[in-house]
Amino acid sequence: MVKRAHLKIKVLIASIMAAALVFPTVPVGAAASGKVEKSESGKPKKHKLARDLEENIDRAASGGTASGQPSVIIQLSDFAPRIGIVEKLARHQGRVKRSHDTLSLVSAELPLERIRELAADDDIEFVSPDRDVASFTVEGYNGHVGVTTGGAEGSVRVTGTTFTGNGIGIAILDSGIDKTHTLIKAASGHPGVVYQKDFTGENTTSDKFGHGTHAATLAAGRVDVASGAYTGIARGAKLVSLRVLNSLGQGQSSNVIAAIDWCIQNKATYNLRVINLSLGAKAVDSYKNDPLCLAARRAHNAGIVVVAAAGNNGKNSSGQKVYGGIHSPGIDPSVITVGATDTFGTNQRADDKVSSYSSRGPTRGYYTDTLGAKHYDNLIKPDLVAPGNKLIGACSPASQASSGSLIKQYPGLKVGAATGDKELMSLSGTSMAAPVVAGAAAMLLEVNPNLTPSLVKAILMYTATTINGANTLEQGAGMLNVDGAMELALLVQSNPATLTNGAAMLTNLLPSENYMNNTGETCWWGQGVITNYCFLFGSDLMTYWQGAYAQGKVLADASYASSGTIKLTSGLVSSGISFSQGAVTSAGSLLSQGTLFADGVVLGDGVVIGDGVVIGDGVVIGDAVVLGDSTPKADQTIYGDTATGMAFVPIP
C-alpha cells in the first residue's frame, strides 16, 4: 500500500536547482549595452516583434528573399481604441483581414518594411507572423481506447452509472467533420454534429482532408456501430465542427484564433465547454506573447477547457530523443497538453509506453526584454498522455475522392474492405490522443457542470497513472484514467467555485484505495498536479479547495521561481500540500515518489536530461537532442511506433 502524503509545505530545492531557475539572461546584440530605447511617448521600448518575423524583415532589408506573406497577428494594448487600428494600418499601407473581438487581436496584412514602424506605436503590444498550423498525425490502427483508458461506455466503477458527456458541447477545430459517416451520424443518445462553420475561405464545411472526422470519432463516436468497437469517449456530447484546416490539412493561426473567438461568443448557445485542438504551430514566442496561447487563455478564462496536442517532434531522423518540441498553443499553462502513448493493442497498461514521436517538454518559447536578454519559459509539459498510436476511426466520405486527403496520399491507412460512409482508417499521433482527453473532460463536466477548467485539469492529472520507463517531460502526470477521474468528480461539491481556499471540496472521503483496476491489474493514481517548474502532490489537493482551481486562475500560477528559489503562492494553495521540484524519474509508482534524475536537473536555459544530458541550445551530449532558439535540429519526418496483436471489427 502506498503511504499518502499529509505533510506541511516543504520546499525541497537542491542548490543547483535553485541556481538554475533564476533563468539566466542571454544578451543579444548591442541592446545588451544597457541603453534602453524609447518609444514616441518616452516610455522604454518593449521588444515587440516575434523572432521569426524580425528575421524575415532583416532578410528582406538586406536584399535577401523574404519567406512567406506579410500576414501578421497584432496584439493591441488593453486601452487601445479598436477602431483606430484600421486607420493606423492604412497609414502603413496595410489592412485588417479579421478582427478577433474578444481577444484584443487583429489579423492584418502590411508590407514587411512597414512593420517596425507600426510596432513602435504605443497601442501595439506585439506583432507575430500569421504562422502555419498543421495536424499531428501519422499512420496506425487500434480499437480499444475506451477499455484501456477506463472510459468504456462511460461506466463509473463507484456507482455503476453510465455517463456519456450528454449535453456538453465539444468544439473540434480541425479540417471539418463529415457528419454523413456512420460513426458520426445523429442517433438516439448521440447528437452528432450540431453546427458547422468554415474559417479557411474555401466556403465548405466538408472534411476533404479526413483528419477532423477521425478525431471527432475518438471524442464522440457512436456506441451502436460495430458492437461499440469504435465508441468515442463521450458519445453523448454535441459536436461543433469549426473548419480551420483546408482540403490539404493546412491552415493559419488566424483561422484558429477566429474559431476560438467564435467559441467564446457562442459558448452559451451550444453549451461549449471543451475545445479540441489536434493541431499546432511552431512555438517561437513565449506563451505570454504567442497569439494562439493568448486566444486559448481567453477561452480558459471564459470557462472553456482547452485541450491541445503536444506535437509529434519527439525524435529526429536518427531516432534520438528530442526535448523541447512542444507546439503552440500546447505551451500555454492553461491548456491541457496531451502526449501520445502506444498501448500495443492490449487493454492492460503494464506494457504501455510513451510513443517515441510524442513531443517532450519543456516549453522553449521565450521573450526578449528591453535590454535584449532572452527569457525562456521552460515549463513542464505535456500535462498527461493518452492512447494515440494506431487508433481506428472514421474515414470521411468526402476525403475518399479528394486527391490531397490523408487516405489518398497514404492508402495504407485504410482498414478493412468497407467503403463510403462505413470506411475506416487508422492514424497515430498526439492529434489522436487529444480528442480522447477532450471526451474525458466533457464527461467530467456532465457530472458537475460547475467544474472550472483548472479543476478539470487537476482531476485528470491527479488520477492519471504513471508509466514505467518515462519521465515527467515525456508523460506529464501520467496516462489518462477516465474511470478514476469520473470517480473523483462525482465526489466534488455541486458548486465548488463558491468555496474558499482550504475549504472541504468533496462530499465524501477519497477512495481508500486510489488505483485503477484495469483488466485485473492495479494501476495507482499518480496523485500529482503539475504546476510550472515542479509538481504538487498529496490528498489535500483533492480533499480541500485550492485557490488555483478558481475561475480564471491557472494551475501553473501556484508556484513560481524567485531569487533562485521555487516558491508557492499562498493565496492559490492551502496547507497540507507536498511540493517537489524538477522532473521526475520513471519510478513506476506514484508521481510523488519519483526522484530527480541522478545526473541532471531542469535548467533555466539549456535543458537537461536523463538518458543523454543536454546542455545549451541545440547542443547534444549522449543520445538526446534539445531544440534551441533557432531552427529546430530535429527532422520533421514522423515515425510511427510498431504495434502488434490488434484487430478491427468491420462496420456492418
Active site residues: 174, 211, 431
Cα separation of 294 and 334, whole Å?
10
Provide the residue type at 86 as one letter.
V
Q: Maximum Cα–Cα distance for the chain, whole Å?
A: 72
Q: Strand 559-562 relative to strand 521-524: parallel, antiparallel, unpaired? A: unpaired
State the DSSP string of 460-488: HHHT-B--TT--HHHHTT-B--HHHHHHH
- Contact 208/249 with Cβ under 8 angstroms? no
399 close to 366: Cβ distance less than 8 angstroms: no
Residues in Cβ contact with 401 at an 8 Å cutoff, skipping those fewer than 6 apart: none
Query: What's the per-residue H, E or C state across 13-74?
Result: CCHHHHHHCCCCCEECHHHHHCCCCECCCCCECCCCECHHHHHHHHHHHCCCCCCCCCEEEE
* DSSP letters for 245-304: S-TTSEEEHHHHHHHHHHHHHTHHHHTEEEEEE-EEB---B-TTT-HHHHHHHHHHHTT-
Report residue 549 CA to chain centroid gap. Answer: 18
- Give the burial string for 332-367 (b: 16+ CB within 10 Å, else e): bbbbbbbbbbbbbbbbebeebbbbbbbbbbbbbbbb
